[in-house]
Chains A and B, each alone.
Chain A
Amino acid sequence: MRRLLLLPAVVAVAACTTAPSVSEHPKPSPRELEEVTAVLKRDFRARGQATMDRVELDEVQRLCNLHADNPPAELARPIEETQLKAIPFPAGSMMGDWKNGEKIAQSGRGAMWSDKPGVQEGGSCYNCHQISPKETAFGTIGPSLAGYGKTRGNRPEIQRYVYGKIYNSKAYNACSQMPRLGHSKTLNEQQIKDLVALLLDPASPVNQ
């Protein structure tokens, strides 16, 4: 009874206040960011391949955390350039074997403390992207990649872009939600080439 009487008053207070709601994505100060990292260092522990150096922030993570994933272009651009310069693009064709690329795209394993390092790592691609039309269980966090090479072709510049995007998505969009699969050493050069072929090879089911 008492709670019922109180309810309109509480709602009225909420309606009047200009305080930010919980649904807003807060921007931490540099000091708060350091404090969170200190908490992680204290409250997490290394397990398997997931070692404690993973809680240290690099320039990309720092930028995105400080700006709630929406940094001003003048801050994002130099960092994207640094990330791009660090990509070791292979010489020559970057098109590998699309069949193996499909296996890598399917696998959600890799880089977790429960995974054995060096055993076939996956890219978790289908977790977030539509890719081959044969796979209907695809995620939607990332854009659909269905027919990717059909509309773009597979000339060297396109291969280079796709290779770079998979190797280090942050070189093109500093706060992309996509993991840096090459930069993080989850996937090696050949595995990324196989994914490039999955998207660009005219024989790949993606382009049928």
Chain B
Amino acid sequence: MRTVIGSAALALAFAPALAQQSPYAEYQRMARESAPVELFELAGEEAWKKKQGPKNVSLEQCDLGQGPGVLKGAYASLPRYFKDTDRVMDLETRLLHCMMTLQGRSREEATKRVFGNADNASEMEVLSAYIAGHSHGMPMRPGTSHAKEKAAYQLGQKLFFHRAGSWDFSCASCHGEEDKRIRMSGLPVLYKPQVARPLIATWPAYRVSNSQFKTMQWRMNDCYRQMRMPEPMFGSEAMVSLVHFLTVTAQGEPYRGPAIKR
């Protein structure tokens, strides 16, 4: 509880100054101008409006937390607690929920291909691009007041530092010490608000290195792959909690995505 309030206050205190000074932010701004992010957003709009599933309806009435069909600011307010499912959900988990309830699709069918490739982005990826784009410029304000939101933050924090797997890694093995790198890649210390803010506020993102548009759930999944762990299940409580922990740590930062990353 106290930690959540503390980080909120810190975020409020430092966010405006950092957003202006960070050379990373400048790189983000420049890269965004020449990147194909808009193409993914356009594909996402099409996917949002496409009638499909056994009920042959679109996702346009999906409630992302701001009311049915409201996109503006929805991403910047996630993850958050949803009364109808009695759990904390991030964007992707909520989209999956809407696919299953509104469109009548099975979990199996809707999660068959959540992560796409360079030739063909997934439905989840383009939807994330489209919806996140409607929060551009708005401060990240994930839910922090409901008991389940506090529990999600705490579980996410524990997961971040939890060492396990064949190689004894936790997230902090790579993202726990300042000024370290793997090969030539700098490693952000993601439990520090001032470091987390510009990075978390730019997902989902187009990755230049592999020409793919990627989401937060993918980012978590691929870290656990490299940590030599088994595979986290898409939209599971563990993954939503980890995303929630990172987003609360970054809260207050104006959302600057969908962005461009290495």
Contacts and interface: CB of A to CB of B under 8 A. Distances in A.
A81 interface: no
B12 A10 contact: yes
Given A22-B3, A32-B158, A112 B183 contact: no
Interface residues of A, number: 57
Contacts of B110: none
B163 A65 contact: yes
A83 B128 CA distance: 46
Interface in B156-196: 157-159, 161-169, 172-174, 176-177, 179-184, 187, 191-193
B8 to A, nearest CB: 7
Interface in A40-66: 40, 42-47, 50-52, 54-57, 60-61, 64-65
Give the residue among A20, A33, A46, A61 with the most B Cβ atoms within 10 A.
Answer: A61
A45 B228 contact: no
Interface in A104-156: 111-114, 126-128, 137-141
A140 B181 contact: yes
A21 B8 contact: no
A113 B164 contact: no
Interface stretch (B54-62, B84-92, B114-122, B235-243): B235-243
B145 to A, nearest CB: 14
Which of A7, A10, A37, A44 has most chain B Cβ within 10 Å? Answer: A44
B231 to A, nearest CB: 4
Interface residues of B, number: 52
A54 B7 CA distance: 33
B76 to A, nearest CB: 14
B233 interface: yes
B191 to A, nearest CB: 6
A65 B9 contact: no
B225 A112 contact: yes
B226 interface: yes
Given A23-B192, A39-B155, A113-B231, A14 B167 contact: no
Given A17-B6, A39-B237, A141 B12 contact: no
B167 A111 contact: yes
Contact of A54 (B165, B177, B187, B236): B165
Nearest to B187: A141
B200 to A, nearest CB: 13
A141 B180 contact: yes
A82 interface: no
B229 interface: yes
Contact of B183 (A11, A23, A25, A126): A126
Contacts of B193: 22-23
B167 A23 contact: no
A46 B192 CA distance: 31
Contact of B177 (A28, A36, A141): A141
B179 to A, nearest CB: 8
B230 A44 contact: yes
A180 interface: yes
A181 B9 CA distance: 43
A17 B219 CA distance: 34
Interface in B133-169: 155, 157-159, 161-169
Contact of B228 (A23, A36, A112): A112
Contacts of B6: 14, 17, 19-22
Interface of B: 2-3, 5-10, 12-13, 155, 157-159, 161-169, 172-174, 176-177, 179-184, 187, 191-193, 224-226, 228-233, 236-239, 249
24 contacts: A11-B13, A13-B9, A19-B2, A20-B2, A22-B6, A23-B192, A25-B161, A36-B162, A43-B236, A44-B229, A44-B233, A46-B230, A46-B231, A50-B231, A55-B229, A64-B163, A112-B225, A140-B181, A141-B174, A179-B169, A179-B228, A180-B167, A184-B167, A186-B167
Closest 3 CB pairs of A and B: A14-B9, A19-B2, A43-B236
Given A42-B238, A44-B238, A50-B231, 20 more contacts: A17-B5, A22-B6, A22-B7, A42-B237, A43-B237, A46-B230, A46-B231, A47-B231, A50-B166, A54-B228, A54-B229, A55-B165, A55-B230, A64-B168, A113-B225, A128-B182, A139-B180, A170-B168, A177-B173, A179-B166
